[in-house]
Every structure is written in structure tokens, then in C-alpha cells.
Amino acid sequence: MIAGLPWTAWLLLIVSVGLGLSIVLVFYRTHRRNGASGSSGLEETG
């Protein structure tokens, strides 16, 4: 029991919020960087 809730409830709460938030943060950081690095973030690979 942590702060009145079973640990499984905390786990569900953390996953509910954390999973989506982590994915969108990685997406946001990637594309803001790409957008800011000029040429729409395009990278020549040969």
C-alpha cells in the first residue's frame, strides 16, 4: 500500500498517463528538432 492505494493501482495510474505522454514527448522533440534544423529536417543519405 503506497499513500492509501495498492501498488497495482499506482502502476495502472502511471502507465495510463506515462505511456502516452512518453511517446508524444519523443515524437514532439524529434519533430521540433527536425523542423528547426532547416530543410524540413531532411537528411541526404546518398
Partner 1 sequence: MASYTILGVFIAYLLVLLGLGLWGRRASHSVAGYYLAGKKLPSWVIAFSSNATGESGWLLLGLTGMGYLVGIHALWVVLGEVLGVTLGWVLVARPFKVYTDRYGAITVPDFLVARFRDKRHGLRFMSVFIILSMVVAYLAAQLVATGKAFETFLGMSYAGGVVLGAAITLFYTTVGGFKAVAYTDLVQGVLMAAGLTVLAVVGIGGAGGWLPLMDQLRAIDPALLMPMGEHGLSTPGVISALGFVGVGLAFLGVPQLLTRFMAAKDEQEIVSGSLIAVICIIIFDLGAVFAGMAGRALFPGLDDPETVMPLMSTDLFPAFLTGIFVVVVLGAIMSTVDSLLILASSAVVRDLVQKVFRPDFSELRLSRYGQVTTVLLGLFAIPFALAEVQVIFWFVLFAWSGLATAFAPVVLCALFWKRTTLAGALAGMAGGFLTTVIWVVAFKAQFYDLYEMLPGFFVGGALTILVSLFTKPPEGADEEFDSVKRVVGPAFGRRTVN
Backbone angles phi and psi of 2, in degrees to 5: -120, 120
Contact between 46 and partner 1 (CB under 8 A)?
Answer: yes
Residues 6+ apart with CB under 8 A from 10: 2
Binding mask 25-44 for partner 1 (x = CB under 8 A): xxxx-xxx-xx----xxxxx
Contact between 23 and partner 1 (CB under 8 A)?
Answer: yes
Place of cell 529536417: 41
Binding residues for partner 1 (CB under 8 A): 3-6, 8-9, 11-13, 15-17, 19-21, 23-28, 30-32, 34-35, 40-46
